[in-house]
Amino acid sequence: GENVEQHPSTLSVQEGDSAVIKCTYSDSASNYFPWYKQELGKGPQLIIDIRSNVGEKKDQRIAVTLNKTAKHFSLHITETQPEDSAVYFCAASWAGDYKLSFGAGTTVTVRA
Amino acid sequence: DAGITQSPRYKITETGRQVTLMCHQTWSHSYMFWYRQDLGHGLRLIYYSAAADITDKGEVPDGYVVSRSKTENFPLTLESATRSQTSVYFCASSERSSGSYEQYFGPGTRLTVT
């Protein structure tokens, strides 16, 4: 099955700086890569996703990049704000399969 | 718009007891999922369902049983709870529409097995 590795496990950044989280996947058939944000005491929520036919996708301060050859994808958060503090999960799947394989998560802390 | 709800939110049970975690969604989504979340492991899929009366195993199904007699409900039963099943359990639902694969998660159930 698919194996997704996520780094770093914790990330502390100064407010206004950028944060980058990286993930690698093992199954070359995977073609759907979502990112979920989990706030304290809540369930994860989708913040952005990318398909394998796209190399980069942006949504305001959030961007995701994908390198299919190297089988890795990254989440970039610019101009971080205190409300960006949360646990972020990457995931991978084949779009024809609803099952997601998640990374272990990254705890992001934005220092004021 | 209630969305997806889970009950109970917190549960303490003893080793060997049977416990059922409930999940209810109001969107009539076809797909429903059960995950467990443990530190260092992220979210691991326990079981999923593609429709009423259709269920299948995920990555870590041992010790768990599911059923789906109605589209909106997807209960998860621990037949004989063990300490290793202490975890936070999340239910999620999804529907493929306009090419979206988003899974919508409930608020979670924190289960402690003593």
Residues of B within 8 A of A6 (CB-CB) are 42
Mutate to test the interface with A, among B43, B44, B95 (most CBs of A within 10 A): B43
> pLDDT truncated to tens, each residue of chain B (114 aa)?
679 999 999 999 999 999 999 999 999 999 999 999 998 889 999 999 999 999 999 999 999 999 999 999 999 999 999 999 999 999 999 987 766 789 999 999 999 999
> Which candidate from B48, B90, B108 shows the least CB-CB separation from A98?
B48
> Among A40, A43, A84, A38, which Cα is nearest to A60's?
A84
Q: How many angstroms separate the Cα of B98 from the Cα of each of A44, A94, B48, B101, B102?
A: 22, 17, 22, 9, 11
